[in-house]
């Protein structure tokens, strides 16, 4: 039991030292510098992201249809599942979407 007490004391001491250290922070102009650096490439990244998302969506829809039909589900249930997923994706921007935007860029 002595070994365990020693480890707990070490951990406790480490946590106390860590908690007393100053909190790290980024410089005030950090967001603006990052945006300036990636500015020209932001359009390319956005297109790439949209392409990857579209490919993933199409692939997952096809796999889902194949899997559900393979389990013997009727087309009505398959359609309902896909439309439900699409409706959920369509609602995402309206539900808490503003919290993902950064103050520096507004994006």
Question: Is 12 within a domain?
Answer: no
In whole angstroms, give the CA distance from residue 6 to residue 4: 5
Question: Is 53 within a domain?
Answer: yes
Residue range 59-77, pLDDT digits in tens: 988 999 999 999 998 999 9
In whole angstroms, give the CA distance from residue 100 to residue 93: 10
In this predicted structure, what is the pLDDT of residue 102? 53
Question: Is 60 within a domain?
Answer: yes
Are 104 and 31 contacting, i.e. CB atoms less than 8 angstroms apart? Answer: yes
Residue range 12-62, pLDDT digits in tens: 999 998 888 888 888 889 988 888 887 767 677 778 888 888 889 889 889
Provide the domain limits for residue 50: 36-95
Are 45 and 38 contacting, i.e. CB atoms less than 8 angstroms apart? Answer: yes
What angle separates helix 75-91 from helix 30-70, to the nearest 10 degrees? 170
In this predicted structure, what is the pLDDT of residue 103? 52
Question: Is 4 within a domain?
Answer: no
Question: Is 81 within a domain?
Answer: yes
Count of structural domains, the chain:
1
List Cα–Cα distances, 19 to 6, 10, 90, 96, 101, in angstroms: 20, 14, 43, 32, 30
In the numeric block, which tokens belong to residue 100?
Answer: 């993902």
Question: Is 30 within a domain?
Answer: no
pTM over 0.75: no
Question: Is 75 within a domain?
Answer: yes
In whole angstroms, give the CA distance from residue 8 to residue 106: 46
How does residue 91 score in pLDDT terms, banded at 50, 70 and 90?
Answer: confident
């Amino acid at each position: 039991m002595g070994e365990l007490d020693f480890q707990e004391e070490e951990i406790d001491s480490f946590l106390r030292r860590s908690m007393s250290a100053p909190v790290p922070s980024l410089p005030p102009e950090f967001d603006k510098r990052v945006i300036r650096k990636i500015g020209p490439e932001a359009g390319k990244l956005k297109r790439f992201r949209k392409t990857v998302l579209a490919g993933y969506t199409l692939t997952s829809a096809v796999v889902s249809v194949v899997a559900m039909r393979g389990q013997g589900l009727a087309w009505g249930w398959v359609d309902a599942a896909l439309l439900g997923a699409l409706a959920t994706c369509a609602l995402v921007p309206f539900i808490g979407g503003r919290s993902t935007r950064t103050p520096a860029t507004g994006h």
